[in-house]
């Protein structure tokens, strides 16, 4: 957990950048700091790895005051991704990614294996990319490398300072989707600075909206939209988002072609589907697309060595579902109640209609604007 306790930052008598910040960031949470230029969001983030020191107050990581830690060691244990990527142009991709593990003394066989795992995780074939130089990659590919470099030493905290803002819109959207997928898999504590409300609504577990060195509202994307604290928040979000969010049903937000698998297929086939589509859950159906249950990555790992089993024999059947016609707000409440990142949508006859995910909810809201 990261805690800011009455943190201030002053550069001179007239320049007060932060005015008594109090904030808690939970383990495994992706928090986006957002607000107008000069509001203090980047300053707040850079205090976590002591690139900027507070004038007063305390910053704790897992209960430890970071002002008492060696700043070099602190930074080696916190991943950092910046806007302009910052890859070393004279180093191959494998050397860029492994630089912190090497500095920390990780054995060569361990960090070489880690590099390949991370490249594969973001869709960059290790055999094809590990020995290339940054200039041989596109901007989006370079930023993927920047993200996994921050993860290479397996830090519990990753700081991301407007990492996608310099990319073209298509690459930016792809990287946002990739970050959401990665976060579901690795569950790091991520502090993400953005100037783009669309981006914040899409990726964040919680949004911290700042103005003039103060936190105005810290809340989930859904609550920010539904219950803006004041006129500043309402204006920053945009009236259109607030109006449209009340009139959407699950049919407007669901994925109509989620990854499905027939219930009689084997476990190896299920694992292959997960890998190909980069998902951690499969929706199990019969030939008529009748929904039967789900198979998770954990279930496959648990039973994978039992070659005679089918997916039907290991699938989870007590799965919360919602019917077509359900209001988005109600769907969100069900997902929160059960701690879900996604929920199947079912026709009255039991046939699978689609899948609502956290990402699809935000994407659909943004398209309404």
Looking at the structure, do residues 79 and 201 belong to the same domain, yes or no?
Answer: yes
Instruction: Provide the CATH number for the domain around residue 319.
Output: 3.10.580.10
Looking at the structure, do residues 50 and 165 belong to the same domain, yes or no?
Answer: yes
Separation of CA 249 from chain center:
24
Cα separation of 82 and 357, whole Å? 28
Nearest to 297 by CA among 328, 260, 265, 271: 271
At 49 the pLDDT is 92
pLDDT, mean of residues 49-60 = 94
Cα separation of 221 and 193, whole Å? 15
Domain boundary among 218, 245, 272: 245
Q: Provide the domain limits for residue 99.
A: 2-245
Does 366 have pLDDT greater than 80? Answer: no
Looking at the structure, do residues 209 and 117 belong to the same domain, yes or no?
Answer: yes
**181 or 209, greater pLDDT:** 209
**122 or 133, greater pLDDT:** 133
pLDDT digit string, tens, across residues 63-116 = 999 999 999 889 888 988 887 767 888 989 999 888 888 888 888 888 888 888
Looking at the structure, do residues 255 and 143 belong to the same domain, yes or no?
Answer: no
Looking at the structure, do residues 84 and 103 belong to the same domain, yes or no?
Answer: yes
Looking at the structure, do residues 229 and 269 belong to the same domain, yes or no?
Answer: no
Looking at the structure, do residues 263 and 123 belong to the same domain, yes or no?
Answer: no
Does 222 have pLDDT greater than 90? Answer: no
At 338 the pLDDT is 84
Looking at the structure, do residues 193 and 293 belong to the same domain, yes or no?
Answer: no
Domain boundary among 221, 245, 269: 245
At 46 the pLDDT is 94
Looking at the structure, do residues 229 and 342 belong to the same domain, yes or no?
Answer: no
Looking at the structure, do residues 187 and 317 belong to the same domain, yes or no?
Answer: no
- Contact yes or no for 81/166 (Cβ under 8 A): no
What mean pLDDT value characterizes the chain?
Answer: 86
Looking at the structure, do residues 191 and 279 belong to the same domain, yes or no?
Answer: no
At 190 the pLDDT is 92
Q: Is the dihedral of CA 33, 189, 158, 68 positive or negative?
A: positive
- Contact yes or no for 304/232 (Cβ under 8 A): no
- Contact yes or no for 202/195 (Cβ under 8 A): no
For residue 347, CA distances in Å to 176, 321, 324 come to 31, 10, 6
Residue 249, helix vs strand vs coil: strand
Does 242 have pLDDT greater than 60? Answer: no
Q: Say what percent of the chain tops pLDDT 90.
A: 37
- Contact yes or no for 146/122 (Cβ under 8 A): no
Domain boundary among 222, 245, 268: 245
At 369 the pLDDT is 46
Looking at the structure, do residues 291 and 198 belong to the same domain, yes or no?
Answer: no
pLDDT digit string, tens, across residues 262-320 = 999 999 899 988 888 888 899 999 988 999 999 999 999 899 888 889 999 999 999 99
Residue 10, helix vs strand vs coil: strand
Instruction: Provide the CATH number for the domain around residue 78.
Output: 3.40.50.300
Domain count, the chain: 2
pLDDT digit string, tens, across residues 313-365 = 999 999 999 999 888 878 888 888 888 888 999 999 999 999 998 877 766 55
At 31 the pLDDT is 95
Separation of CA 114 from chain center:
20
Q: List, in sequence order, every beta strand (DSSP E) within the chain.
A: 2-10, 16-25, 30-34, 56-61, 64-65, 78-81, 157-161, 189-194, 206-211, 214-219, 260-262, 281-285, 291-296, 322-323, 342-346, 352-357
* Banded pLDDT at 52 (limits 50, 70, 90): very high
At 87 the pLDDT is 83
Model pTM greater than 0.75? Answer: no
Contacts of 342 by beta carbon, 8 Å cutoff, 6+ apart = 281, 335, 355, 356, 357, 358
Does 206 have pLDDT greater than 80? Answer: yes
Cα separation of 211 and 303, whole Å? 51
């Amino acid at each position: 957990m990261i805690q800011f306790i009455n943190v201030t930052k002053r550069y001179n008598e007239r320049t007060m950048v932060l005015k008594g910040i109090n904030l808690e960031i939970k383990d495994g949470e992706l928090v986006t700091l957002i607000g107008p230029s000069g509001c203090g969001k980047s300053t707040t983030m850079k205090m976590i790895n002591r690139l900027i020191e507070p004038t007063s107050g305390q910053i704790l990581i897992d209960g430890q005051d970071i002002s008492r830690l060696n700043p070099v060691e602190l930074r080696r244990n916190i991943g950092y991704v910046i806007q302009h990527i910052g890859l070393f142009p004279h180093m191959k991709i494998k050397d860029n990614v492994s630089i912190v593990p090497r500095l920390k003394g990780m054995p060569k066989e361990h960090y070489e294996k880690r590099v390949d795992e991370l490249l594969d995780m973001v869709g960059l074939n290790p055999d094809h990319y590990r020995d290339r130089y940054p200039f041989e990659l596109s901007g989006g590919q370079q930023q993927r490398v920047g993200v996994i470099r921050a993860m290479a030493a397996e830090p519990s905290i990753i700081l991301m300072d407007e990492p996608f803002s310099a990319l073209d819109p298509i690459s930016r959207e792809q990287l946002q989707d990739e970050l959401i997928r990665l976060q579901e898999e690795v569950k790091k504590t991520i502090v993400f600075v953005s100037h783009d409300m669309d981006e914040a609504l899409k990726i964040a577990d919680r949004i911290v909206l700042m103005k003039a060195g103060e936190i105005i509202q810290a809340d989930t994307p859904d609550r920010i939209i539904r219950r803006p604290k004041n006129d500043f928040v309402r204006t920053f979000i945009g009236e259109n988002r607030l109006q449209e969010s009340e009139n959407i049903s699950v049919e407007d937000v669901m994925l109509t072609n989620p990854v499905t698998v027939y219930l009689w297929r084997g476990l190896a086939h299920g694992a292959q589907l997960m890998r190909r589509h980069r998902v951690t859950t499969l929706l199990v159906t019969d030939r008529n697309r009748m929904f039967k249950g789900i198979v998770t990555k954990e279930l496959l790992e648990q039973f994978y060595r039992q070659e005679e089993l089918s997916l039907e024999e290991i699938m989870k059947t007590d799965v919360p579902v919602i019917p077509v016609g359900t209001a988005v707000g109600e769907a969100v409440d069900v997902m929160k109640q059960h701690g879900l990142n996604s929920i199947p949508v079912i026709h009255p006859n039991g046939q699978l209609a689609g899948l609502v995910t956290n990402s699809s909810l935000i994407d659909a809201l943004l398209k309404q604007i």
